[in-house]
């Protein structure tokens, strides 16, 4: 069996003892094992801070952008191979593997272009110089300087490639070295990408490190200028936020956690219209793409009462066409969930939803194809129907991280806004409406509880990739249950990795510092 290593302190290191075994989620065949025991994480973080940090800060944005471009090209050149690794280690279909791998490639390329645009500078300014004294001589200007620590990235199991790419792109462009810890269960893909990047020698030493396996005491070694960016479960986030150095030294933490994303069908949308069909397309896609294991997937579907039965019928019809099984088998459209623990969690979550809602689809026979009998972490796609959103509790509070959603019938705009907000803060929700006044009311009604709102009308329905797709130009993150974090969003994504410092002084000095003209 392959034994995976971690890339730390400029070299590949294996952990001690028997490691955790990574399996193919469709067949449960062992693929690799990995251990991180005995790896000196304090020294590994110091190496990143002391070697990678200065090397990156010496580069301009354009030069850092070229590093990102080289990483993106490596992924592009090895795309087919990486898709195979993603399919096998994540149990995902080829199209789902593309979503992850192409997402990493595209996000790195986007930030490479942004680096080119930012040009020969090495840090950013925020706003303009502002007069502070009696005369225009004494001014203040805010600078955004790269933090002189290491950016620790703890990623979730569901996007081993994109999760690495989207976090690394912002940190590296801002000038911070990255220390990446993918989720152990699907680490094979991130590990392979790292191997290719290291082999190609495109990054200065210390700029990117990889911990392939359990985190051990990693977070215990963080310091004040380090940052921690975490994607995963809310309870793990709470644990990480309370680790001593994080609390004591005010280590900056970004969290992307759970989310009960909603899709609202506007009362103006007629069945059969483009907007209506786009709504059905997006709900169905989010239920089944990556077997529902997307943090941005639609979990709650709000439909005007007189349309609810028709929408359920249409969704059930589409769900009947899902072929669950081994993604390597021809015709399979949905794979298993990633781990045995996820399968258990999803099944427990389905029971919570079943306790309060009717099952419209998912209770029938379920036989995944192309897998040995009884093997694989499969769960049936399941659609619930709830006549009263106000009466439901679990559907607004428990994220089932699998192929499940609940359709709620609603009677008024006020009601739907109130019920969407019961999600307690989310990553994204979508509004499907052609009536601009209605769309405005819905977007503004739910907006402050979310990180992103997608407003779909007939004008954009054929262009919008769906709310489940995170684009690097817009922020990703959300308040409350979603973790309170914010990533990406173009140049905004660099802010987390930068220290904003107000510099006050003599105008010519400040202008010289910032390169301002005049």
Q: How far apart are CA 120 and CA 118, in angstroms?
A: 7
CA distances (Å), origin 375, targets 27, 97, 247, 269: 6, 21, 43, 43
Catalytic residue among 88, 256, 314, 486: 256
Does 156 sit near ligand NAP (CB under 6 A)? yes
Does 39 sit near ligand NAP (CB under 6 A)? no
427 backbone dihedrals φ, ψ, rounded to 5°: -80, -45
CB of 183 to ligand NAP, least distance (A): 4
Does 352 sit near ligand NAP (CB under 6 A)? no
Helix, strand, or coil (residue 360): strand
**Contact (CB, 8 A) for 287 and 404:** yes
**How many C-beta atoms lie closer than 10 Å to residue 385's C-beta?**
21
Q: How many residues does the chain have?
A: 518
Q: Taking Cα atoms as reference points, which of 166, 401, 379, 135 lies closest to residue 260?
A: 401
179 backbone dihedrals φ, ψ, rounded to 5°: -125, 105
CB of 429 to ligand NAP, least distance (A): 14
Q: Taking Cα atoms as reference points, which of 157, 153, 296, 343 lies closest to residue 233?
A: 157
Q: How far apart are CA 378 and CA 139, in angstroms?
A: 63
CA distances (Å), origin 332, targets 273, 336, 365, 375: 29, 11, 17, 16
Kindly indicate which of the ranges 38-46, 56-64, 83-91, 234-242 contains the residues binding ligand NAP, using the contact rule CB under 6 A. 234-242
208 forms beta bridges with 178
CB of 230 to ligand NAP, least distance (A): 6
CB of 394 to ligand NAP, least distance (A): 14
Kindly indicate which of the ranges 1-9, 92-100, 255-263, 461-469 contains the residues binding ligand NAP, using the contact rule CB under 6 A. 255-263
Pick from 54, 140, 204, 214: which binds ligand NAP (CB under 6 A)?
Answer: 214
Sheet containing strand 2-4, strands side by side: 2-4, 30-34, 20-23
Q: What residue number has its CB nearest to ligand NAP?
A: 232
Pick from 14, 69, 181, 507: which binds ligand NAP (CB under 6 A)?
Answer: 181
User: How buried is 388 (Cβ within 10 angstroms: 0-12 exposed, 13-18 middle, 19+ buried)?
Assistant: middle
Does 353 sit near ligand NAP (CB under 6 A)? no
Does 193 sit near ligand NAP (CB under 6 A)? no
- Which residues have a Cβ under 8 Å from the Cβ of 169 and sit 6 or more positions away? 68, 107, 108, 110, 111, 472, 493
CB of 252 to ligand NAP, least distance (A): 16
Does 184 sit near ligand NAP (CB under 6 A)? yes
Does 233 sit near ligand NAP (CB under 6 A)? yes
Q: Which is closer to ligand NAP, CB of 45 or CB of 312?
A: 45
Does 183 sit near ligand NAP (CB under 6 A)? yes
Strand 426-432 relative to strand 450-456, pairing: parallel
Q: Which is closer to ligand NAP, CB of 300 or CB of 328?
A: 300
88 is catalytic: no
Does 486 sit near ligand NAP (CB under 6 A)? no
Does 232 sit near ligand NAP (CB under 6 A)? yes
CB of 412 to ligand NAP, least distance (A): 30
Strand 11-13 relative to strand 6-8, pairing: antiparallel
Does 480 sit near ligand NAP (CB under 6 A)? no
Tokens encoding 117: 């645009």
Q: How far apart are CA 3 and CA 9, in angstroms?
A: 19
Identify each DSSP E strand in 213-367 by its residue range. Answer: 227-231, 252-256, 261-265, 298-304, 358-361
Tokens encoding 321: 């066409």
Q: How far apart are CA 429 and CA 446, in angstroms?
A: 8
Kindly indicate which of the ranges 53-61, 199-207, 228-236, 316-324 contains the residues binding ligand NAP, using the contact rule CB under 6 A. 228-236
Catalytic residue among 88, 166, 170, 295: 295
Does 484 sit near ligand NAP (CB under 6 A)? no
Pick from 62, 145, 215, 471: which binds ligand NAP (CB under 6 A)?
Answer: 215
Kindly indicate which of the ranges 124-132, 214-222, 466-474, 503-511 contains the residues binding ligand NAP, using the contact rule CB under 6 A. 214-222
Kindly indicate which of the ranges 41-49, 152-160, 352-360, 441-449 contains the residues binding ligand NAP, using the contact rule CB under 6 A. 152-160
If binding means CB under 6 A, how many residues of this protein chain bind ligand NAP?
A: 26
Residue whose entry in the numeric block shows the structure tokens 């790195």: 108
Site string for ligand NAP, 256-295 (x = CB under 6 A): xxxx-----------------------------------x
Does 211 sit near ligand NAP (CB under 6 A)? no
Give the distance, in angstroms, between the CA of residue 161 and the centroid of all CA atoms in the same chain.
10
Pick from 108, 176, 188, 219: which binds ligand NAP (CB under 6 A)?
Answer: 219
Does 104 sit near ligand NAP (CB under 6 A)? no
28 is catalytic: no
Strand 475-476 relative to strand 487-488, pairing: antiparallel
Helix, strand, or coil (residue 187): helix
Does 231 sit near ligand NAP (CB under 6 A)? yes
Does 45 sit near ligand NAP (CB under 6 A)? no
Q: Which is closer to ligand NAP, CB of 181 or CB of 252?
A: 181
CB of 337 to ligand NAP, least distance (A): 9
Does 298 sit near ligand NAP (CB under 6 A)? no
End-to-end CA distance of the chain: 65
Q: How far apart are CA 405 and CA 419, in angstroms?
A: 15
Q: Which is closer to ligand NAP, CB of 314 or CB of 487?
A: 487
| Residues annotated catalytic, as ranges | 256, 295
Site residues (vs ligand NAP, CB under 6 A)? 154-158, 181, 183-185, 214-215, 219, 231-233, 236, 239-240, 256-259, 295, 345, 399, 401
């Amino acid at each position: 069996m392959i034994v995976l290593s971690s890339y730390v302190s400029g070299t590949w290191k294996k952990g001690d003892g028997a490691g955790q075994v990574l399996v193919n989620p469709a067949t449960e065949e062992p693929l690799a094992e990995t251990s991180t025991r005995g790896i000196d994480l304090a020294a590994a973080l110091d190496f990143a801070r002391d070697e990678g940090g200065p090397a990156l800060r010496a580069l301009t944005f354009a030069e850092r952008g070229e590093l990102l471009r080289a990483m993106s090209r490596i992924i592009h050149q090895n795309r087919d191979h990486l898709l195979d690794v993603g399919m096998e280690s994540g149990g995902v279909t080829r199209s789902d593997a593309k979503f992850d791998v192409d997402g990493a490639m595209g996000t790195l390329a986007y930030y490479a272009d942004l680096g080119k645009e930012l040009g020969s500078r090495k840090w950013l300014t925020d706003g303009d110089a502002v007069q502070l004294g009696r005369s225009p001589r004494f001014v203040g200007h805010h600078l955004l300087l790269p933090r002189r620590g290491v950016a620790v990235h703890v990623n979730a199991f569901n996007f081993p490639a994109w999760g690495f790419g989207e976090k690394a792109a912002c940190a590296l462009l801002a000038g911070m070295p990255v220390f990446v810890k993918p989720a152990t269960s699907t680490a094979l893909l991130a590990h392979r990408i790292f191997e290719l990047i290291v082999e190609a020698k495109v990054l200065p030493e210390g700029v990117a490190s990889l911990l392939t396996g359990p985190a051990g005491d990693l977070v215990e070694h963080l310091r004040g200028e380090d940052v921690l960016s975490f994607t995963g479960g809310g309870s793990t986030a709470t644990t990480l936020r309370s680790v001593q150095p994080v609390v004591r030294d005010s280590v900056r933490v970004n969290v992307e956690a759970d989310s009960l994303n909603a899709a609202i069908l506007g009362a103006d949308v007629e069945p059969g219209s483009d907007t209506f069909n786009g709504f059905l397309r997006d709900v169905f896609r989010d239920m089944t793409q990556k077997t529902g294991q997307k943090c941005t997937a639609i979990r709650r579907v709000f439909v005007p009462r007189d349309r609810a039965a028709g929408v359920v019928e249409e969704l059930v019809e589409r769900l009947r066409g899902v072929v669950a099984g081994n993604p390597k088998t021809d015709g399979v459209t949905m794979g298993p969930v990633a781990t045995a623990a996820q399968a258990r969690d999803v099944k427990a979550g389905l029971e919570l939803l079943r306790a309060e809602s009717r099952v419209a689809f998912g209770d029938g026979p379920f036989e995944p194809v192309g897998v040995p009998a009884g093997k694989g972490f499969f769960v049936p796609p399941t659609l619930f129907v709830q006549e009263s959103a106000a009466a439901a509790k679990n559907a607004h509070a428990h994220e089932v991280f699998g192929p499940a959603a609940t359709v709620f019938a609603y009677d008024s705009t006020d009601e739907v806004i109130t019920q969407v907000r019961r999600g307690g803060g989310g990553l994204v929700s979508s509004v499907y409406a052609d009536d601009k006044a209605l769309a405005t009311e819905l977007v503004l009604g739910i907006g402050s509880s979310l990180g992103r709102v997608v407003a779909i009308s007939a004008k954009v329905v054929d262009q919008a990739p769906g709310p489940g797709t995170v684009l690097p130009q817009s922020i990703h993150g959300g308040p409350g249950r979603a973790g309170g974090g914010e990533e990406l969003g173009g140049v905004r994504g660099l802010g987390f990795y930068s220290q904003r410092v107000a510099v006050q002084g003599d105008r010519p000095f400040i202008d010289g510092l910032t390169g301002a003209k005049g």
